[in-house]
């Protein structure tokens, strides 16, 4: 797994995807941080992360679009599937490589609350909890993107498909409120609005609550989509 991880991590910076992804997130964060915290003087950095939710929807598909679809297109997936490394370790190695790239801008974001503190009142616990929740929410989107990438050999279809799914997740609270009652009067649709991916993030950024149940929900979704990815690749191995 370590070899897979190093190979994937190197590929992101050899192809410039890693640099573009990091630069885009840092630049957009800088714009929001400058406006909300430095110009307006809002003391919570978490407010910036709330504004960054839609930005992450556009960035994650770029990060995940090639992780498995490119292997499938170039037929190098056959080498991976016949390697001595187990399939779950291959998938986990690729996922951790993407998580490492995603963690770099998160570490840069951690500087922002300290900048606020150096210029006035700061709420470090709330802000760092929000950064962690933002990372976990992004990790859910990474797992979803990895699953979509395993279904196609086209990077464009992978990126568009991932964006479409995470956009529906982002808009789900509004979508569910517009559905007719005969579709929403069931257990699943009544539970989902309380555990929407972005709704959990709002508990951290808007209400400054440490939502443990929400974090458990994030972790469950990550493992669920990693399991789906393993099953998708496994099916292709035996087909």
> Whole-angstrom Cα distance, residue 211 to residue 202?
10
First-residue to last-residue Cα distance in the chain: 24
Check residue 233 and give its pLDDT. 87
Residue 194: pLDDT band (50, 70, 90) is low
Please state the domain count of the chain: 1
Segment 60-110, tens digit of pLDDT = 999 999 888 887 777 666 666 667 778 899 999 999 999 999 999 999 999
> Whole-angstrom Cα distance, residue 28 to residue 51?
10
Burial call 213-226: b when 16+ CB within 10 Å, e when fewer: ebbebbeebbeebb
Segment 4-17, tens digit of pLDDT = 899 899 999 998 99
The interaxial angle of helices 124-149 and 155-178, nearest 10 deg, is 120
| Percent over 90 (pLDDT), the chain | 64
Residue 171: pLDDT band (50, 70, 90) is confident
For residues 195-199, give the mean pLDDT. 78
Tokens of 135: 């990372």
Give the residue carrying structure tokens 């997130």: 25
Helices then strands (H, E): number in the chain?
14, 0
Tokens of 151: 């279904």
Check residue 79 and give its pLDDT. 65
Residue 113 CA: distances (Å) to CA of 82, 92, 229: 47, 32, 36
Check residue 237 and give its pLDDT. 66
Choice among 85-89, 105-109, 121-125, 226-230 with the minimum mean pLDDT: 85-89
Confirm if 160 and 58 have CB atoms less than 8 A apart: no
Task: Count Cα atoms within 13 angstroms, Cβ side, for 77.
Answer: 25
For residues 195-212, give the mean pLDDT. 87
Is the pLDDT at 188 greater than 60? The verdict is: no
Domain that holds residue 175: 2-238
CA angle 185, 202, 209 (to 5 degrees): 110
> Whole-angstrom Cα distance, residue 84 to residue 217?
33
């Amino acid at each position: 797994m370590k070899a897979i991880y190093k190979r994937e991590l190197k590929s992101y910076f050899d192809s410039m995807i890693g640099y573009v992804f990091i630069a885009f997130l840092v630049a957009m964060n800088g714009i929001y941080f400058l406006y909300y915290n430095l110009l307006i003087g809002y003391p919570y950095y978490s407010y910036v992360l709330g504004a960054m939710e839609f930005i992450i929807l556009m960035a994650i598909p770029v990060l995940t679009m090639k992780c498995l679809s490119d292997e499938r297109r170039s037929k190098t997936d056959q080498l991976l599937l016949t390697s001595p490394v187990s399939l779950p370790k291959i998938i986990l190695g690729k996922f951790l490589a993407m998580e490492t790239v995603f963690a770099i801008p998160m570490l840069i974001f951690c500087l922002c609350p300290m900048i606020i503190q150096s210029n006035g009142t700061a709420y470090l616990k709330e802000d760092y909890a929000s950064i962690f929740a933002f990372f976990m929410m992004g990790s859910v989107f990474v797992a979803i993107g990895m699953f979509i990438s395993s279904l196609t050999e086209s990077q464009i279809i992978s990126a568009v498909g991932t964006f479409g799914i995470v956009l529906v997740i982002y808009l789900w609270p509004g979508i569910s409120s517009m559905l007719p009652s005969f579709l929403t009067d069931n257990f699943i649709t009544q539970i989902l609005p309380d555990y929407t991916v972005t709704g959990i993030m709002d508990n951290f950024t808007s209400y400054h609550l440490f939502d443990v149940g929400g974090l458990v929900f994030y972790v469950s979704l990550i493992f669920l989509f990693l399991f789906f990815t393993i099953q998708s690749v496994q099916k292709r191995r035996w087909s």
